[in-house]
Amino acid sequence: MAQTKVYSLFTDFDINLFKAGKHYRLYEKFGSHIVTVDGIEGTYFAVWAPSAKQVSVIGDFNFWTEGEHQLNVRWDSSGIWEGFIPFVGKGNLYKYKIESHNNGIKTEKADPYARRCEHPPKTASIIWDDNYKWKDDSWMKKRKKHNALDAPYSVYEVHLGSWKRQVEEDRFLSYYELADELVHYVKEMNFTHVELMPIMEFPYDPSWGYQVTGYFAPTSRFGYPEEFKYLVDKLHQNDIGIILDWVPSHFPEDAHGLGFFDGSNLYEHPDPRKGYHQDWKSLIFNYGRNEVKSFLISNAIFWLEQYHADGLRVDAVASMLFLDYSRKDGEWEPNIYGGRENLEAIAFLKELNLEVYQSFPDVQTIAEESTAFTGVSKPVFLGGLGFGMKWMMGWMHDTLDYFKKNPIYRQYHQNDITFSLAYAFTENFMLPLSHDEVVYGKNSLIGRMPGDEWQRFANLRLLFGYMFTHPGTNLLFMGGEFGQYNEWDFQGSLDWNLLDFKPHKDFQNYYKALNTFYKEQSALFEKQFSHEGFEWISYDDHQNSVISYIRKGHDSKNNLVVSCNLTPAVQKDYKLGIPTKGKLVEIFNSDIEEFGGSGVCNAKPITVRKSPWNGKNYSAKVTLPPLGVVIFKIE
C-alpha cells in the first residue's frame, strides 16, 4: 500500500471560509486536476470525507485496487483528503474507495467534482481537462450592457435526448450535431433563449435528468465537455442565450452518488423528515451544513463561469421552502418558530442568489415555484429570496383549464382568464408552458384544445397570442411551436414529419412571426414586470368572451391595443374604449390565412372617435376574428 505524494492545491485556501460555507469556487481545488510536480505530470485528487478512516483512489491505472494509492488527510480537521499520483492523466477512469470510522463501512464513490463521467450505466469518473477557447466575446460583452428584465425573453425549453434523433442509427444527436441543427432552428424561429432540461450527468434516462449524480459534468450521452461548450458558444455566436435547469433540491440514492458518501449522512440531512423525498425516492441536501452550501453554490457558479450559461432555472423550489411539502401530519417537524418554512433552505437560496448576482449581475436565476410564498423574485435586501424571475404556475393552470373548455361555456369562466392580472406584478413572472404539461396523460397542447382541427389550431394561436401579450416573459416546451399532437416521449423524437402537413407548417410560421413581433415591439417587454406596462380596456365582457387591454413601453407612441376574441363568433363593429384620439392600425392578427386562419381582419385604419367607452374618453369600432387575437397601434 502506498501513500500518494504530499502535494496540495489548498496552500492559498481559506479552510475557515470552507467550514463557514462561504467558499464559492470549490471546483478550483476539489476533484481531479492535471498538474506537474517535480517535473512529472500526473493528477492531484482532493475529496471531502470527514468520517473517513482511509481514502484510496482506485482506477484503471491500478486495476481498481484498494490501498494502492491512498490519499492523505489534511491536518486542519477539515475532513479533506488529498494527494498526487504521477503518470496518471486525461482519460483515466477513477473512483474513491472510502473506509469509514462508522463501523468500518466501505463505500465506492464517483468524484462529486468530476468534470466528466462515464456514459451510463457505467459510473466511473474520468480525469479531464479541455482548455476550450471561447469565441463568444461579442455576446458576453453585450450581455453585460443588457438588462434582461427590460428585454424580450422568449424561451424554447429543450430535452436534448428527444428533440431530434439520428434516424438511421437511432441515436441521440451529439453536442456538435446539435450545435448545427438546434442552433439553426432556434435562430430561424426567433427565440431569444434556449432552456435545457438538466445536462448534468445522471444515471437514469426516465428521470429526464432531474436525478443528478455528476453535478460538475455535462452528460456524456452527447459528447465531451468541450463539445458542450462548443454548443453554448454556437448559441451565443447566433445571439441566443442559454438557461440551464439546475437541481439543488434533491439527488438520487445510487450507490456511486452523493448519498451516505463517507459512511455518514454527509450531503443529505440525517433526519429523513428533512433528508428524504418520498415522491421522488431521493435524498434532500442538508442546507444547514455549511460545506454542503459551499458545494451547491460553487456548482451554480461553475456553470455560469466555466460554461458561460446565461441563467439557471432552479428546479422544485417549493419542495425546498416547506418542511411539510408532500408530507402528511406526523411526517414533518415544525421549525424553531413552530412554522412550516424550511429556514435553512430559505437562507441557502438567499445566499445563492446574492453570490450569483454579485459575480454575474447580467444573468438570471429563475425559480420553478408553485406556491404563494411571497418575495421569490424580490431582492434579498427587501426580504425576498433574490431570484430574477419566478414561473407563473397559477397563470398556466388557469389558462389551460380555460382553453380546454368549449367556447360556448367560456362566458361562465371569464375570471379564469383575467384573474392572473390581479397578482401579475407581485413577482417578476415567467409564463411557462413546460414539459410537465405535455406528459402523463395530460395530452399535448393542441390535443387539449376543443373543436375540429381548424378550431384547435385557432385556439392554440389565440392562447399563444394571449401569452405573448400578457405581462411577463414566456417559455414553451419543444413541439408546441408546430402543434405536436402526441404527448412528449423522452425516448423518441418530436414528430417533425408533421411539418409536411399545411396546418402544422402554418402554425410553425405563426409562432415564428409571434416571436419576431414580440422582439420588435418594445411595449411587450420594456415594462413587463410593472403595473405601468399594462392597462385594462375591458375584462368583464363575459357575454361575448372578449378581453381587451393596452401594453405600454417607455414611449407611449409604441403602446399596443390588444383584443382577444375567445369564441368562434366573428365580432363586427365591436366597440373598444381608447385613451386617446387618432387611428387604430392593425399590425398583428392571428387569423390571417398565412397562419391557417380565416382571413378576417381590419384592412384599413379605423378612426378613433370622441365617444366615451370602457371608462376611456374615446372609442373605435373594430372587427374581431373568430378565436383570434388582434393587435393595433394608435397613430
Torsion from C-alpha of 325, 329, 331, 336, nearest 10 degrees:
80
Is residue 497, in this structure, part of any structural domain at all?
A: no
| 132 touches 230 (CB < 8 A) | yes
Verify that 64 and 93 share a domain, yes or no. Answer: yes
Q: Based on the structure, what is the number of domains in the chain?
A: 3
**In 498-569, at which residue ranges do the beta strands (DSSP E only) sit?**
534-541, 546-551, 560-565
pLDDT at 125: 98
Cell of 456: 384547435
Tell me the C-alpha distance between 50 and 292, whole Å: 13
Give helix 502-520 / helix 175-189 axis angle, nearest 10°.
70
Tell me the C-alpha distance between 74 and 80, whole Å: 6
| 73 touches 81 (CB < 8 A) | yes
Is residue 401, in this structure, part of any structural domain at all?
A: yes
DSSP 165-182: EETTTTEEPPHHHHHHHH
Please say whether the dihedral angle defined by the alpha carbons of residues 214, 216, 222 and 226, taken in this order, is positive or negative.
negative
Verify that 600 and 556 share a domain, yes or no. Answer: yes
**Which of 109, 141, 159 is at the close of a domain?**
109
| 476 touches 155 (CB < 8 A) | yes
> Coil, strand, or helix at residue 550?
strand
Q: Which residues contact 483 (CB under 8 A, 6 or more apart)?
A: 445, 446, 457, 460, 498, 503, 504, 507, 508
Verify that 358 and 410 share a domain, yes or no. Answer: no
Burial of 413 (0-12, 13-18, 19+ CB in 10 A): middle
> Coil, strand, or helix at residue 34?
strand
**Which of 45, 76, 109 is at the close of a domain?**
109
Instruction: Report pLDDT digits (tens) over 190-209.
Output: 999 999 999 999 999 999 99
| Confidence label for 447 from pLDDT (cuts 50, 70 and 90) | very high
pLDDT at 340: 95
pLDDT at 169: 84
pLDDT at 1: 56
Verify that 410 and 549 share a domain, yes or no. Answer: yes
pLDDT at 11: 86
Cell of 442: 395530460
pLDDT at 148: 72
Is residue 220, in this structure, part of any structural domain at all?
A: yes
Q: Long-range contact list for 188-191, CB < 8 A, 24+ apart?
A: 188/512, 189/156, 189/481, 189/508, 189/511, 189/512, 189/515, 190/154, 190/512, 190/515, 190/516, 190/519, 191/154, 191/155, 191/156, 191/240, 191/515
| CATH code, domain with 24 | 2.60.40.10
Tell me the C-alpha distance between 6 and 17, whole Å: 23
Mean pLDDT of the chain: 96
Instruction: Report pLDDT digits (tens) over 136-168.
Output: 999 999 998 877 788 999 999 999 999 999 888
| Confidence label for 266 from pLDDT (cuts 50, 70 and 90) | very high
Is residue 135, in this structure, part of any structural domain at all?
A: no
Compute the half-sphere exposure of residue 338: CA atoms within 13 Å on the CB side of its CA.
0
Verify that 385 and 402 share a domain, yes or no. Answer: no
| 311 touches 193 (CB < 8 A) | yes
Tell me the C-alpha distance between 561 and 552, whole Å: 9
pLDDT at 404: 97
Q: Which residues contact 629 (CB under 8 A, 6 or more apart)?
A: 461, 462, 465, 466, 469, 562, 563, 564, 565, 588, 589, 590
pLDDT value at 52 more than 90:
yes
Instruction: Report pLDDT digits (tens) over 68-82.
Output: 999 999 988 899 999
| CATH code, domain with 590 | 2.60.40.1180
DSSP 50-110: TTEEEEEEEETTTTT-TTSSB-EE-TTSS-EEEEEEET--TT-EEEEEEEETTTT-EEEE-
Q: How many CB atoms lie within 10 A of CB 378?
A: 17
pLDDT at 419: 97
Is residue 1, in this structure, part of any structural domain at all?
A: no
Torsion from C-alpha of 570, 574, 579, 580, nearest 10 degrees:
100
- Cα 144-149-151 angle, rounded to 5 deg: 80
Mean pLDDT of 231-248: 98
pLDDT at 3: 75
Give the residue carrying C-alpha cell 424580490.
378
| Confidence label for 384 from pLDDT (cuts 50, 70 and 90) | very high
Verify that 351 and 412 share a domain, yes or no. Answer: no
Verify that 255 and 362 share a domain, yes or no. Answer: yes
Verify that 378 and 417 share a domain, yes or no. Answer: no
Verify that 375 and 513 share a domain, yes or no. Answer: no
Buried b (16+ CB within 10 A) or exposed e, 444-462: bbbbbbbeeeebbbbbbbb
Tell me the C-alpha distance between 100 and 227, whole Å: 38
DSSP 260-280: TTTSS-SSB-SSHHHHEETTT
End-to-end CA distance of the chain: 84
Is residue 120, in this structure, part of any structural domain at all?
A: no
Verify that 219 and 301 share a domain, yes or no. Answer: yes
Range of the domain at 61: 15-109
Q: Which of 145-159, 339-353, 577-591 bottoms out in mean pLDDT, i.e. has the lowest?
A: 145-159
Percent of the chain residues past pLDDT 90, beyond the cut: 94
pLDDT value at 84 more than 80:
yes
Tell me the C-alpha distance between 538 and 492, whole Å: 44
**Which of 109, 139, 171 is at the close of a domain?**
109
Phi, psi of 68 (to 5 degrees): -65, -40
Instruction: Report pLDDT digits (tens) over 88-138.
Output: 999 999 999 999 999 999 999 999 999 999 999 999 999 999 999 999 999
Instruction: Report pLDDT digits (tens) over 456-465.
Output: 999 999 999 9
| 504 touches 498 (CB < 8 A) | yes
Is residue 487, in this structure, part of any structural domain at all?
A: no
Instruction: Report pLDDT digits (tens) over 494-521.
Output: 999 999 999 999 999 999 999 999 999 9
pLDDT at 623: 97
- Cα 409 to Cα 110, 124, 452, 544, 545, distances in angstroms: 57, 57, 17, 11, 9
Question: Which residues partner with 504 through β-bridges?
Answer: none
pLDDT value at 307 more than 80:
yes
| CATH code, domain with 223 | 3.20.20.80
Tell me the C-alpha distance between 100 and 490, whole Å: 39
Tell me the C-alpha distance between 623 and 487, whole Å: 36
Tell me the C-alpha distance between 123 and 51, whole Å: 23
Is residue 496, in this structure, part of any structural domain at all?
A: no
Verify that 92 and 184 share a domain, yes or no. Answer: no
Cell of 533: 406596462
Verify that 516 and 633 share a domain, yes or no. Answer: yes
The catalytic residues are: 315, 368
Burial of 91 (0-12, 13-18, 19+ CB in 10 A): exposed
Tell me the C-alpha distance between 460 and 628, whole Å: 10
When comparing pLDDT for 353 and 1, which is higher? 353
